[in-house]
Structure 1
Amino acid sequence: MVGIVSYGTYIPVYRIRLSDIAGVWRKNPEEIIRSLGIREKAVPAIDEDAVTIAHEACYRALSAAGVPAGKVGALLVGSESHPYAVNPTSTIVGEMLGIGNAYLAADMEFACKAGTAATQAIAGLIASGQIRYGLAVGSDTAQSKPHDALEYAAGAGGCAFLLGGNDLACELVNYCSYTSDTPDFWRRDGIRFPSHAGRFTGEPAYFTHVLGAAKLLFERTGITAASVDYCVFHMPNGKFPRDAAGRLGFTREQLAPSLVVESIGNPYSASSMLGLAAVLDIAKSGQTVCMVSYGSGAGSDAFLWKVTDRIRRVQKARRDAGATVDNSVSQARYIDYAQYLRQTQKI
C-alpha cells in the first residue's frame, strides 16, 4: 500500500486583484474576471522563489506527520520556475530541511504536472521497497509577460506530499497517465517568459488530455463520476476545471472545495496538488477523490485517492499550525501593480 502520510502547503501572503491589472492596461475588469473565473492571484515576496516555497511546503508536511527529515529517502521537486538552469532545486531544499546525504534528489519538469509526475515516481520507489518515505513537491512562481493573457492568471504557491507505505492519511488506489506531443505552451532556454498558442491550449491540449486521463482511470478502476466524493483538476483558470468536471459527469458540489484558483490564480506545478490539499483539509475517512493534473506539451496524470482515519490527525496538526489552505488563502495582503512588478522583478 502506498499513499499520502501527510501534506504541506504554502501560498505567499501577497495578492493583486485582477481589476488592478486590467485597469493599468485599460481593459474591462468585469469582463476579464468573468471570462477567467479568477478574482485575484498570489504574488511571491521579492525574496521568495521555487526553492523557498518548496521548503515551506516540505517543512509543513514533515511537521504535520512528526516524521524526521532524515527518514526521507527521495525528494523530487517539480517546477517551471527553478531558480537555476544548472544547479538543482531539490538539493538546496534537502539541505535546508536537514535530510542528510542518503537520499535521491532530482528536479522534475513537465510544465504544470511536474509535481504529480514526482508523485508517481516516488510511489513506485515506495512500492518497490527502495525507500520508506519520499517528498513529492510542486512549487512555482509562475512567469508571465506584462500585458499577456497569462498575466491575469499566473500565480505562486507550493504543495508537498509526504508519501509512504504505512500510517497513511490517504491511500493511493490507482493512477495512470495520458500523454502526447502537443506543443500548446513553451519557453525556450534563455527566454524569460513563456509563449502559448492561445485558444489552442484548450480543446486539443487541456481537454483532450484531462478527459483522456480521467476516462482511462475510470476504465481501470471501474469508478464513475457519481461514485466518488470529490474531484480535482488542474486549474489554469476557473473555467477549464468546471468545464472538464461537467463533461465527465461531476457535480458542482464535488468540484467546489478544490477551486483555489479563484483566489490565488494558477501556481503551475502546485495547482492540482493544492486543489487536492484543500479537499483533504475537509475530507472524512472513507471518502474518495479523483484528481487529474495537466502539463503543457502535453500530458495528464490521473489519481484515485481514498481517505483513511488518520486524516484527522493531519488535519488537526494543520489547523493548530494555522497552515490549512483556507487559512492561507484568507491571509491576503494586497499590493498595487507597481509593487507587483517590483516583487516579480520585472522592474
Structure 2
Amino acid sequence: MAGIVGYGVYIPSYRIKVEEIAKVWGDNAQAVSRGLVVNEKSVPAPDEDTATISVEAARNSIKRANIDPKKIGAVYVGSESHPYAVKPTATIVAEAVDASPDLTAADLEFACKAGTAGIQICMGLVDSGNIEYGLAIGADTAQGAPGDALEYTASAGGAAYLIGSENTLADFEGTYSFTTDTPDFYRREGKPYPRHGGRFTGEPAYFKHVLSAAEGMFKKMGTEASDYDHAVFHQPNGKFYIRAARKLGFNEEQYKTGLLTPTIGNTYSGATPLGLAAILDVAKPGDRIFAVSYGSGAGSDAFSIEVKEGIKEKQGLAPTVQEIIKNKRYVDYAVYAKFKGKLKMA
C-alpha cells in the first residue's frame, strides 16, 4: 500500500494585509475579511517562483523521509504558474534535489488540484512496483488582476510529498475523484490574469465537486465524518472551506488545523497539500485524515489517510507549517505590486 514517507512545505515570508489592499481600491476591509475569512496573504519575493518554492518544499520532504534522493523514480509538479510555458519545472526540481536522471518527470496542470493529481499518479506507480519513491508537489504563485476580488486571496506557497510503501508516516486507505467540464475559472494563453465566474464559482463549481468527491469517498470507504480526526479541503477562501466542512458533517475541531487561508491566502495548487501538512505536523499514530482538493475546470480528488507510528520520529526533521508561517515581513501595496509585476512599462 502506498503511503507518505516524507512531506515538506515552503511559504514566502512576505505578507500583505487585506486592509492594505482594500485601502487602495476603496473597499471596506472589515467586510472583505469577514466575507472571505482572510486577514492577510503571502507574497512571493522577486526571486521566488513555482520552481524555487517547489525545490524548497521538496528538500524539506526529503529531510523528513530521510532517504537517498537517488531512489526517487518520478517527479511531478502541479501548478498553474509554472515559470516557463515550454520547459518543465519538474526537471529543475529533480536536478536541485540531486535525484538520479533515471526517472520520469512531468509538469501537471489542473488549476488548484494539480498537486493532488500528482499524488495519485505516484500512488499508482508505487503500488504497481514501477518505482520505489515518487515526489509529488503542489505549488503556485497565484495571479489576481489589480482590483479583482482574487487580489485579496491569490497568494504563494507549496508542499511536497514523497510517496513510497516502506517506513511510511501515513498510509492512503483510498482515493476517489469527481470531474466535469465546468468552466468556472480560466486563463487564456498569453494572458497575465485569470477570469472567473464570480458567484458561479461557488454552487455549480466548488461545492458540487468537493461535496461529490467527499460523498463518493465516504461511500467507497464505508465511512462518515465522525470516523475521522481531521479534515482538510481546498480553500479559495475561508468561507467556502468552512461551509463545505460543515455540510459534510465535520466540526471545527476536525477542520480547524488545516484551515490556513486566513493567514496565508489561497496558494492554489498548494492549498490542500499545505493544509494536509499542517495536520500531519500535529497528528498522532492512529489518527484518520480526510482530504479533498478542488481544481477549477473542474474536479476534486478525495483521500482517506491513516497516520502510522512512523510519524513521531519524522515530524521534527523539517520546519513545520506554523513555524514557516510565523516567519513573516509585511509589505505595502506599492512593494507588493512591484514584487508581483503589476507595474508595466509603457
TM-score bracket, normalised by the shorter chain, equals over 0.9
Instruction: Report how far residue 100 of structure 1 moved.
Output: 2.4
The aligned runs of 1:128-167 (5 Å cut-off) are 128-167=128-167
Partner of residue 262, structure 1: 262
Equivalent residue in structure 1 for 2:327, among 317, 327, 331: 331
**Post-superposition shift, 1:316?**
1.9
Q: What residue identity is the alignment partner of 2:325?
A: V
Q: Secondary structure at the match of 1:215?
A: helix
Q: Does 1:51 align with 2:47?
A: no
> Partner of 2:277 in structure 1?
277
1: distance between equivalents of 2:246 and 2:8?
Answer: 29
How many Å separate the matches in 2 of 1:297 and 1:121? 19
In the alignment, the residues of structure 1 paired with residue 6 and residue 92 of structure 2 have an alpha-carbon distance, to the nearest angstrom, of 21
CA displacement at 1:346 relative to structure 2: 1.4
Q: Cα offset for 1:35?
A: 0.3
Q: Is there any run of 5+ residues in structure 2 with no aligned partner, and where?
A: none
SS of the residue corresponding to residue 181 of structure 2 reads: strand
Q: 1:83, 1:330 → 2: CA distance?
A: 27
Offset, 1:165: 0.6
Distance in 1 of aligned mates of 2:331 and 2:26: 18
Offset of 1:68 from its aligned partner? 1.6
Specify the code of the residue in structure 2 equivalent to 1:324.
T
Which residue is equivalent to 1:344? 340
Alignment of 1:301-316 (within 5 A): 301-316=301-316
**Contact 2:72 2:100 (C-alpha < 8 Å) held by counterparts:** no
Q: What secondary structure does 1:304 align onto?
A: strand
1:89-238 aligned at under 5 Å gives the runs 89-238=89-238
- Tell whether the 8 Å contact from 2:225 to 2:249 is kept in structure 1 after alignment: yes
Partner in structure 1 of residue 4 of structure 2: 4
Give CA deviations for 1:234-258 in whole Å, capped at 9, x if unaligned: 0000000100011111001100000
Whole-Å separation in 1 of the counterparts to 2:294 and 2:85: 23
Match of 1:258, SS?
coil
Amino acid at match of 1:329: I
Q: Structure 2: how far apart are the matches of 1:346 and 1:74?
A: 35
Alignment of 1:68-107 (within 5 A): 68-107=68-107
Runs of at least 4 residues off by over 6 Å: none
The equivalent residue for 2:67 is 67
Instruction: Supply the distance in 2 between the matched residues of 1:43 and 1:262 (Cα, whole angstroms).
Output: 14
CA positional deviation for 1:39: 0.2
Taking the aligned partners of 1:223 and 1:294, their CA distance within structure 2 comes to 21
Q: Does 1:17 align with 2:17?
A: yes
2:40 alignment counterpart: 40
TM-score of the superposed pair, with normalisation by structure 1: 0.98
For 2:106, give the aligned amino acid: A
1:97 shift after superposition? 1.3
**Residue type of the partner of 2:76?**
L
Aligned amino acid, residue 286 of structure 2: G
**1:102 Cα deviation after fit:** 0.2
Please give the per-residue CA displacement for 1:274-314, whole angstroms capped at 9, x wherever unaligned. 00000000000000000000000000000000000100111
Cα distance in 2 for residues equivalent to 1:209 and 1:273: 18
Q: What RMSD in Å do the two structures reach over aligned CA positions?
A: 0.6
Displacement of 1:83 after TM fit?
0.6
- Aligned to 1:154, what secondary structure does the other structure show? coil
2 CA distance for matches of 1:311 and 1:28? 44
- Structure 1 residues 298-339: Cα deviation after superposition (integer angstroms, max 9, x where no partner): 000000000001001111212xxxx10011111110000000
**Letter matched to residue 20 of structure 1:** E
Task: Describe the SS at the equivalent of 1:212.
Answer: helix
Letter in 1 for 2:75: L
Structure 1 residues 150-187: Cα deviation after superposition (integer angstroms, max 9, x where no partner): 00000100100010011000100000100000000000
Distance 1:345 1:163 in 2: 35
* Distance in 2 of aligned mates of 1:254 and 1:291: 11
Q: CA deviation at 1:267?
A: 0.5
**CA–CA distance in 2 between the matches of 1:135 and 1:280?**
17
Number of corresponding residues:
343
The answer to whether the 8 Å contact 2:137/2:158 transfers is: yes
